[in-house]
Amino acid sequence: MKNIIAAFIMLLTMAAGTLAYVPDGNPADWGIDLAGNLDTFSSWQPDSDAVDYVVENDIDPRLNTQEWNLKKLKCDWTCYTPGWTQYCYCQHGVHKTVFDAHVTTFVEAFKYYSPFKQQVVQPTSGELFDQSAIYCDNDPNKLFFMMVTSTPPAGAVDVAGTLYKPGDLGLDFNGDGKDEYGIKLTGANKGQICFLPTWIEVDEVMGNWVAPGVPGYWSFTCPQGHVVGQATVAYVKQAQKDNGKDLYVVEVSAPRTAFDVLDDGDVYYVYNQQECGNDEIEANCKINEGSEVPEFNALEVIGMLGLIGVAVAFIRKR
């Protein structure tokens, strides 16, 4: 009979585990411990092989050579510009992408900074604008995302003294390079899911990221009648720091009913960058095939507890 009770307890534990991700800003749901050594890939690896993600913490380590230093691309632009060297940022970190359980080295693209008429590295202007990682997963009912960033929810002030706000989450389900869905990560409409939002270009006022190349976007407004759902969003400061700056975890849980039909095996893209355009991050995500975990509701859990109680009463009666 003790074995029966043990089995019930194990079943209850499994049920609790199938509640999947709780969008509360705690990366432990994903198996991530930010107290570890963030310069090692293992610190960024989630528990589940079903999770797709990108890690681009700090500057791309491939640039950590004398050759790139001569090209003024080993470090942030501040390191090479007279009058700005006191803000020099030259930390190199993990750059990996994991899609469908396959790990590859992630090569981070340069940005083109118009005032200098030259390329610069990401994150531009230092740790405060570092988008370190983004993760995606799903169950039959929801899409789940987690992002690790150094940008506070109220925004960050760059080396020139300008306040820039964090961006919204963009989702591209048809692979055309245009995010037809957006999820608000901050502000009064936090969690709003919008179909065909009107995207706002990065650094629109200063115009620092004009040609060559598309400047990208960071936030959206939602036209009337285009709100299609509500996600749960948590944007939480962590106890840990990276390069002396606070880390934040952004967790999102979004109902799949808000989006177009998503079938097992479908691939989509998730995208984010700040108002300044100093660092962008994008991950390829796949709707997990045959790996969805059923969710137990409260009545089912109570029923299991009841069965355990009956078993205990039976033992006492004997």
From first to last of its 318 residues, the chain has per-residue pLDDT tens of 444 444 444 444 444 444 479 999 999 999 999 999 999 999 999 999 999 999 999 999 999 999 999 999 999 999 999 999 999 999 999 999 999 999 999 999 888 776 777 889 999 999 999 999 999 999 999 999 999 999 999 999 998 898 999 999 999 998 888 899 999 999 999 999 999 999 998 865 444 544 444 557 889 999 999 999 999 999 999 999 999 999 999 999 999 999 976 788 899 999 998 988 889 999 999 998 654 444 444 444 444 444 444 444 444 444
pTM of the model: 0.84
Pair 137, 248 in one domain: yes
pLDDT of residue 202: 81
pLDDT for the residue numbered 293:
42
| 14/25 same-domain check | no
User: What confidence score (pLDDT) does residue 70 get?
Assistant: 97
* Token reading at 196: 């065909």
Q: Round to whole Å and give the CA distance between 277 and 275.
A: 6
pLDDT at residue 298 in the model: 42
5 and 50 fall within a common domain = no
| Shared domain check, 149 and 8 | no
Nearest CA-CA partner of 277 in 220, 222, 200: 200
Instruction: Say whether both 206 and 314 belong to one domain.
Output: no
CA distance 123 to 70: 19
Assigned token pair, 242 = 């990276």
Same domain, 13 and 143: no
Q: Which tokens go with 69?
A: 């230093």
User: Of 304, 310, 303, 294, which Cα lies nearest the Cα of 8?
Assistant: 304
Q: Are residues 303 and 287 in the same domain?
A: no
Same domain, 1 and 144: no
CA angle 30, 156, 77 (to 5 degrees): 100
Same structural domain for residues 275 and 315?
A: no
Q: In terms of domains, do 258 and 244 share one?
A: yes
The pLDDT of residue 261 is 67
| 113 and 254 both lie in a single domain | yes
Could you give the number of structural domains in the chain? 2
- Tell me which residue range forms the domain holding 316: 1-19+296-318
Q: Are residues 177 and 278 in the same domain?
A: yes
